[in-house]
Amino acid sequence: MKNPERRCLLQALGSALALSPFAVFAAFPERAIRLIVPFAPGGNADIVARLVGAGMAEELGQPVVVENRAGAGGSIGAEQVAHAAADGYTLLSGSNGPLTVNPFVQAKLGYNPLKDFAPVGLTSIVPHALVVNAALPAKTLPELIALSKQQQVGVGTSGIGSATHLTLERFNAQTGAKLLHVPYKGGGSLLPDLLAGTIQGAMTEFSSALPHHRGGKARFVAIAAAKRSALAGEVPTMIEGGVKDFTAGSYIGVLAPAGVPAEVMARLQAALATALNSSKTLERFRELGVEVASPEQMTPAGFGAFIRQDFERSREAAQLAGLKKE
């Protein structure tokens, strides 16, 4: 006959193992995951989130449901994720606005972007670029800088305190250019005004202006990337134009609330990397003019370092622009 005490001990150990964190997290995910996009549908953050979410869902074996929670420049959706349960079932499609711009322009931010999130990985970057009306005589970056010192050259961005505004401020400070900032409320009327000649130039996302560059109605002067784009190899980088180490772009990455267990983070990161390296994702990114993140940037450590670097760049640019929190 078996020892009753030994049998009870084995049963107790079995129950403990079943309830252990390792056993619980080894089964992750057991239900659908929510991926919060803090902007309206149809934008770059939304498109990338849906593409990456579909790839992650295939790898994880559970749906990744994209939910749009727009408002306050992305802060409303970001705050919702920051205060969600740290179990890996609520994620954020994070970008410049809520992570590294809003902290310097919004007085009442309901989260700390450097403490309240656990970066899973960077997905992609759309480089910023200087594009000018085709009639503007300046064809190179040095020529544009020189022209801005001789006459007014209005350069539009998607708004005061936007990522492209901060890039323009950094550019003026580093080069001595005197490009006049013309803020718009988003990009809807920015490019039409550029094409009409209402403004002479724009600091905007490379992918947004690419069709107009190809059509000959506008002309890229330089792209703020480490290397030339395969989609427009004739366009030099700002570094080639003499602006040392100058890169800037609108980025998107996946984040979880701080405190998500390491086992869950590892599972999410692996699924994200698999999704980003799929031929479907890479082809779609190429069509959109989006640069996929490097292998290092796809990791929590790499994306975390990226955020901290961009945070300090934005702090400096906000000071240069004289921006005040409102």
Residue 133 to residue 98: CA distance in whole angstroms? 31
Instruction: Look at the alpha carbons of 119, 48, 111, 317 in this order and tell me if their dihedral is positive or negative.
Output: positive
Structure tokens at 174: 């580093």
Written as tens digits, the pLDDT of the chain (326 aa) is 445 555 554 454 445 444 444 444 568 999 999 999 999 888 888 999 999 999 999 999 999 999 999 999 999 999 999 999 999 999 999 999 999 999 999 999 999 999 999 999 999 999 999 999 999 999 999 999 999 999 999 999 988 888 999 999 999 999 999 999 999 987 678 999 999 999 999 999 998 899 999 999 999 999 999 999 989 999 999 999 999 999 999 999 999 999 999 999 999 999 999 999 999 999 999 888 889 999 999 999 999 999 999 999 999 999 988 988 98
Instruction: Look at the alpha carbons of 33, 35, 36, 42 in this order and tell me if their dihedral is positive or negative.
Output: negative
- Those residues whose C-beta lies under 8 Å from the C-beta of residue 12, and which sit 6 or more positions away, are none
Give the per-residue pLDDT at 2: 46
Give the per-residue pLDDT at 297: 97
Residue 82's alpha-carbon distances to 16, 192, 255, 256, 322, in angstroms, are: 31, 37, 9, 8, 28
Give the per-residue pLDDT at 1: 42
Measured torsion, CA atoms of residues 318, 165, 169, 254, in degrees rounded to the nearest 10: 60
Q: Walk me through the domains of the chain, giving residue ranges and CATH numbers.
A: 32-125+249-321 (3.40.190.150), 127-223 (3.40.190.10)
- Quick check: bond before 29 cis, omega within 30? yes
